[in-house]
């Protein structure tokens, strides 16, 4: 990777993981100094993140995190509930013992992370669980679409999993999904995935409406 790509990837990761706060100001000069590069790759990386919707440029100030909005959330949830429930249906049609074994193993790891209150680890394991299902769908175009949406949803998802009740709720939802997939109950799997995604959307929407996101970011 060149200098711009290194800066872009690192900043994007920090934004998604909520390591950069909503009130933080990112300036070309500061970014250049942090990564020990000239201002050109720093500027290009910031501009790319702005183009992708992660940052917004504030005149004579610098770049700030693009706020999370209810409209943006609703758009992503609507698309995810449709595409991911379809992916889960395809995965159920193609399901085999190895995939079920992987899902169970990953969900057990997620439960252990909950017990240890390691929610950052839980976030990564939770993402791994869903990726196993997407890959099992066998549809590469669908997988690419979902991965793009998942990346856009990552900031919301990490916030969601920091809500006290959500990690365990997510774990239990996954148990039900695994059981339905074992039974090859396609319609039930579709409904479980759809409800799982919409449930998270409703919880996040409550926080976005309240405007009280300080505990999360």
Model confidence pLDDT, tens digit, residues 111-159: 999 999 898 788 889 989 999 999 999 999 999 999 888 887 877 777 7
Best CA proximity match to 107, nearest among 182, 159, 34, 47: 182
Band of pLDDT at residue 211, cut at 50, 70 and 90: low
**What pLDDT does 191 receive?**
97
> What is the 8-class DSSP label of residue 73?
H
| 18 φ/ψ sector (left φ>0, alpha ψ -120 to 50, else beta) | left
Residues 179-182: contacts with CB within 8 Å, 24+ apart? 180/92, 181/88, 181/91, 181/92, 181/95, 181/99, 181/100, 181/103, 182/95, 182/100
Using only C-alpha atoms, the chain has a radius of gyration, in whole angstroms, of 19
**Alpha carbons 84 and 142: distance in angstroms, whole number:** 9
Best CA proximity match to 76, nearest among 155, 189, 190: 155
> What is the 8-class DSSP label of residue 54?
S
Q: Within 13 Å of residue 60, how many CA atoms lie on the same side as its CB?
A: 0
31, pLDDT greater than 90: yes
> Domains (ranges, CATH) in the chain?
3-65 (1.10.10.10), 70-210 (1.20.120.530)
User: Which residues have C-beta within 8 Å of that of residue 36, sequence separation ≥ 6?
Assistant: none
pTM of the model: 0.79
Alpha helices in 36-185 (DSSP H): 39-51, 70-94, 97-115, 119-136, 140-161, 166-182
Band of pLDDT at residue 214, cut at 50, 70 and 90: very low
Q: Which strand (E) or helix (H) includes residue 194? A: helix 186-210
């Amino acid at each position: 990777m060149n200098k711009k790509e290194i800066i872009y990837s690192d900043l994007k990761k920090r934004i998604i993981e909520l390591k950069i706060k909503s009130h933080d100001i990112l300036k070309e000069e500061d970014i250049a100094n942090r990564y020990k590069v000239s201002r050109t790759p720093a500027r290009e990386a910031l501009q790319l993140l702005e183009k992708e919707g992660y940052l917004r440029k504030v005149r004579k100030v610098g770049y700030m995190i693009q706020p999370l909005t209810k409209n943006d959330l609703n758009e992503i949830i609507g698309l995810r509930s449709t595409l991911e429930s379809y992916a889960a249906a395809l995965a159920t049609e193609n399901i085999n013992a190895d995939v079920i074994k992987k899902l169970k193993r990953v969900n057990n790891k997620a439960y252990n992370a909950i017990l240890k209150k390691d929610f950052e680890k839980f976030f990564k394991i939770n993402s791994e669980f869903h990726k196993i299902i997407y890959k099992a769908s066998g549809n590469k175009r669908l997988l690419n679409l979902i991965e793009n949406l998942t990346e856009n949803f990552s900031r919301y998802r990490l916030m969601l999993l920091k809500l006290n009740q959500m990690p365990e709720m997510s774990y239990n939802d996954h148990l039900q999904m695994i059981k339905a997939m074992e039974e090859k109950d396609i319609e039930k799997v579709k409904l479980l995935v759809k409800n799982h995604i919409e449930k998270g959307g409703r919880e996040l929407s409550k926080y976005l409406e309240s405007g009280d996101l300080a505990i999360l970011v």
